[in-house]
Amino acid sequence: MSHAKIVVIGAGVAGLTTALLLAKKRHHVTVVAKHMPGDYDIQYTSPWAGANFFPFSTSEDDPARRWERNTHPELWRLATQVPESGIHVQDARLYVMEGLPTPGFMEGLMSEDPWFKNLVHGFRVLEKPELPKDAVSGTAFKSVCINTAIYLPFLLSQCLRYRVAFRRGIVNHVADAANMHVAAKKADLVVNCSGLMACKLGGVMDSKLIPARGQIVVVRNEAPAMYTTSAVVEGDEEMTYIMMRAAGGGTILGGCYQKGNWSPEIDPNLANRIMKRCVDICPELAGGKGVEGLDIIRHSVGLRPWREGGARVESELIDGVKVVHNYGAAGWGYQASYGMSEDTVALVEESLKPQAKL
């Protein structure tokens, strides 16, 4: 295969991972993005994520199953062998709460016999004495927590090492990106990793994409493990999770999953509910002092790119330009990042074949 000139739109986890894998295959890649690592903006989801590996794929037929399965080995390798990636291993504890129905999207994760029990390390069912009050059962395994403030610049620096070029720019129509390669008048192909904003990008305008708003509190307190619960009394739009980022990145307290809500504003009542639920599930977090014992660094809001029918990894011809899409991973864009990007690279190489049918 000859080495192609490719423009990747987007410098979130999807764009950076895809650019890296394409560059490792010796393609000439230019990343064009409105936001880059170091920026914090409501249109740029990746910096706001926790982020951890808690599988959410729903069935063996769900492509997200393959993406999660194919991503875990690389995240584990980075966590155990590449400390400068900002990823570390953390014990995860998952509690099924008494009297609260487990929402559908949490069922696979909370199972006592989950599909991923041999993928992750150290999976086991918790004993009764290990459970907090109000929990009826639970599981534990070793997960990873990604400090996105380190990991995104790490990915970017890996890209630079493989000679990826970066340009700031706003793309109005996906086909225009083909004119933005640093070394060619016209790129051979465009990869669209524009995240949630694919719903506004000309030539794409994906109406199946909506935000799933997430609000978190970042605290200085150290957490003894990573936690989540199956459900919370406030309903399916809210949730409880705790994870401590590597290298002094603080501890993330979450959260919520508010579909269709574009608001970047902090909801103070929600923040109070999040903190209360987190200290209830892990009193040690605040030295037994309750919410008063939390030392807040900041409150944050990010918008997950939720897509009806699942994420989109597909090729298409738009106004005569070959385009491969990779967006819409909702709340699992990190834990599926390598799997999705590998499939994207395969589609790119397929699309570049002279006889490709697009």
Ligand X SMILES: Cc1cc2nc3c(=O)[nH]c(=O)nc-3n(C[C@H](O)[C@H](O)[C@H](O)COP(=O)(O)OP(=O)(O)OC[C@H]3O[C@@H](n4cnc5c(N)ncnc54)[C@H](O)[C@@H]3O)c2cc1C
**Interface positions with ligand X (CB under 6 A):** 9-15, 32-35, 44-46, 48-52, 169-171, 193-197, 201, 214, 216, 255, 302, 304-305, 327, 329-335
First and final C-alpha spacing in the chain: 18
HEC string of 173-217 equals: EHHHHHHHCCCCCCCCEEEECCHHHHHCCECCCCCCEEEEEEEEE
* Pick 94 or 201: Cβ nearer ligand X: 201
* Pick 3 or 218: Cβ nearer ligand X: 218
Shortest distance (Å) from residue 351 CB to ligand X: 20
Shortest distance (Å) from residue 38 CB to ligand X: 11
Shortest distance (Å) from residue 53 CB to ligand X: 7
Helix spans in 229-336 (H): 268-281
Burial (0-12, 13-18, 19+ Cβ within 10 Å), 309: exposed
Q: Quick one: tokens of 136?
A: 């009826």
* Pick 92 or 134: Cβ nearer ligand X: 92
> Is 45 one of the annotated binding-site residues?
yes
* Pick 86 or 302: Cβ nearer ligand X: 302
Shortest distance (Å) from residue 177 CB to ligand X: 8
Give every CB contact of residue 19 below 8 A, 6+ residues apart in sequence.
8, 29, 31, 159, 164, 191
- Chain centroid offset of residue 46 CA: 7
> Is 219 one of the annotated binding-site residues?
no
> Could you give the 3-state DSSP secondary structure of residue 140?
strand
Give every CB contact of residue 26 below 8 A, 6+ residues apart in sequence.
3
Shortest distance (Å) from residue 219 CB to ligand X: 15
* Pick 86 or 195: Cβ nearer ligand X: 195
> Is 46 one of the annotated binding-site residues?
yes
* Pick 146 or 231: Cβ nearer ligand X: 146
User: What number of residues does the chain have?
Assistant: 358
* Pick 207 or 355: Cβ nearer ligand X: 207
Q: Quick one: tokens of 101?
A: 């129905």
**Is there a contact between 92 and 225 (Cβ–Cβ < 8 Å)?**
yes
Tell me the residue type at 210: I
Shortest distance (Å) from residue 251 CB to ligand X: 13
Task: Name the phi and psi angles at 252, rounded to 5.
Answer: -90, 130
Q: How far, in Å, are 111, 112, 130, 141 from residue 126 at the CA level?
A: 12, 9, 6, 10
Q: Which among 334, 23, 40 is positioned nearest to 157, based on CA atoms?
A: 23
> Is 102 one of the annotated binding-site residues?
no
Shortest distance (Å) from residue 189 CB to ligand X: 17
Binding site members for D-dopa: 331
Binding site members: 45-46, 174, 331
